[in-house]
Every structure is written in structure tokens, then in C-alpha cells.
Amino acid sequence: MALHVRGVILPDDEVRDLWLVGDRVSFTPVPAATTVSTGGFVLPGLVDAHCHIGIAPGGAPVSGIDEVRALAAIDREAGVLALRDAGSPYPYGELDDAPEMPRLARAGRHVAPPRRYLRDIGAEVPAEDVAAEVTRQASAGNGWVKLVGDWIDRGEGDLAPAWDAATLAGAVEAAHAAGARITTHVFAEESVATLVAAGVDSVEHGTGLSGDVIAEMARRGTALVPTMINIETFDGIAAAAESKFPVYAAHMRRLQANFPALVADAYDAGVPIYVGSDAGGGIDHGLAAAEMLMLHERAGMPVDAVLAAGSWGARAWLGFPGLVEGGLADLVVYDTDPRTDLRVLRAPSRIVLRGRVVR
């Protein structure tokens, strides 16, 4: 059964008719198709390019596959039709093509240094085992590997790199040899410089960016997923750590304060930026639209760029073609133009995923 939609298709900005036939988009009329929307503004769905559907609220691994489905459903109902899981302690590869699931780009478990990451989440390995673990996690995921690039070193009382440059070079090489892209959790200045130089494909958070590192990312085409919602939590992390780790607390506060301007600089320099909420654990799912609003209001990214970063641009980056002939049959419709007010993104009037009406 085919579906028919008429509306202003973004980013083309034209009123068009399109048909969804099975899981594909077509611009060739299909007689007897069911019309499901006849007005408004049509996007190929929002994207949350950094979330975790294998981590339960509170931060423990999910209890099972049904909880993975339930967390993904919160995103789907918010119009998020593609997501990148940036590290899951729970394997759920059997859901990759499930009809109810948003498109999934997945890392396996975080590859983390011993006792220097969230408890029970990462595959914790010493430096000499990182490359082998990256290979293992590349096959557990479906195209991405996630490396923990830095974390607090309790002995030093501050953020410190997780790995040296040679270990990172080996990790990047192992990921690419396995056909995966590699991304990294990183907050601090020194760590992000080393990771970008090692050739990671994407930087998550990236609060320690400098002008030089931004220029290097632009040159290499390294992506940035700022997760501004997550960075807003740094003052709470700092307050909790203050009495034991005052240097770390001050560092986290400084990183938070400087961050919106760095995202603006990265955008201006031409670094590819994508929307990620870091949902899972302490952050709720379904917040891609909220992150998009922050990229506009706090980092000054133009509305068109924010829409690309949280929809068609991010889909292209993750390998999920949008509203083009032969593209994947996902779309959201908004009654009014999100380019005039991004808050519209919170209230889709129609959601279609994999050629089926969600609502």
C-alpha cells in the first residue's frame, strides 16, 4: 500500500507531491495511494546524532530489549526518525530493521580506560588492548565505534586524556580497517587536540576546542556533535565534585562558559555540526528539537543550518537518504514553517516512519 503527501518539501522549498511505496520515496504518482497529509512543511524526520537507547534513565544499562524499544519510541513520537547510538552496554542489533525503530546508526560499547568511565557502561581495557577492542566493538555496532577520549583522573584531580597518541592512532586504524567510523567522548583541551590529530571521524561534546583544533577539523572534515543540552549539566557536575576535586570543578565550569562561542566559531570555520542531545542516563529522550533551538539561540547557528544539522544533513552523514527519488520513506510534517520559528519542531502534525503512519 502506498501513501501520498503534498506539502512544501524542505530543503527544496517547493510544494510537491510525493509517494511512499514500501520503504521508498517516489515522485511518480501512484494511483489509489492513501493521502495522509496535504499541507504544511515536510522534512525527512529529525535526527538525534548522539543518544543512548541502551542506557536506562539513571545511568544503568537497560533491563532488556523492551526498554530499548520504549526509549526509541520516545524519540520516534517526537519526530526523531534516525538516531546514532553513541555507545550501548546492551546489544540490540536485532532491532536494526525493526519496523517500529527509527533508523539506527550504532556504536557497540564505549571503549574506555579501566575505572575511568561511567560504571558498567564501557568495555574497559588497558592501552595495549585498545585496537583489538575497537575491532570487537566495530562488529558489535553497525558502522560506528565510540572511544572515551578523556575523563577525570582522580589522582590528578582534573580531566586527563584516556590514551596517548600512539594508542589513538592504532584505534583509528583498527576502526577504519573494520569499515567503521570512530567517534570520541571528549571534554578537555589537550585531549581533543590529540584525538583530532589522530584522525577520529567525529568529536562528541568538544568543549575544549581551540581555534587551531577547529581549523584542523574543518580541514579534515571532522564532524562535531556539541550536545549543548549535556554541557548545560556541567555546573551540576562541578557542584557535586567541588569539595573533593576543586580544580576539576573549576575546569568544568570554564568549559561550560566558553562553549557556545566555540560552537559558533566551529560553524563559522566550516566544521560539519550535527544535532545530538546525549539522551540516555541523565538526559531525557525526545529532545532533538530542544537541542536545535539551543544551537540557534545559544551558538547563533542560522536556522537553515540548524535544520540541516538536525534533519537532512545529519541523515546524509549517517547514510539514510531523505526526501529524494528512491530515498527512505520517513517524514514529518509541520503545520507552519520551522524556518520562521524552530519551536514548531516540537509539534509535528504527521509522522511517517519506514512507509507507515506513526501518527
Interacting residues toward Zn ion by CB under 5 A: 86, 278
The residue nearest Zn ion at its CB is 278
1, with CB counted inside 10 A (0-12, 13-18, 19+), is exposed
Q: Which is nearer to Zn ion, 102 or 338 (CB)?
A: 102
Min dist CB 48 to Zn ion, Å, is 11
Backbone angles phi, psi at 229, to 5 degrees: -60, -40
Distance of alpha carbon 204 from its chain centroid, rounded? Answer: 8
Min dist CB 118 to Zn ion, Å, is 9
Q: Which is nearer to Zn ion, 121 or 351 (CB)?
A: 121
Min dist CB 226 to Zn ion, Å, is 12
Angle CA 195–288–250, to nearest 5: 50
Q: Which is nearer to Zn ion, 87 or 170 (CB)?
A: 87
Closest CA to 223 of 96, 158, 318: 318
Min dist CB 285 to Zn ion, Å, is 12
Q: Which is nearer to Zn ion, 54 or 260 (CB)?
A: 54
Min dist CB 338 to Zn ion, Å, is 26
Distance in angstroms (rounded) separating the CA atoms of residues 71 and 284: 9
Task: Tally the C-alpha atoms within 13 A of residue 254's C-alpha that lie toward its C-beta.
Answer: 12
Q: Which is nearer to Zn ion, 48 or 278 (CB)?
A: 278
Distance in angstroms (rounded) separating the CA atoms of residues 127 and 323: 44
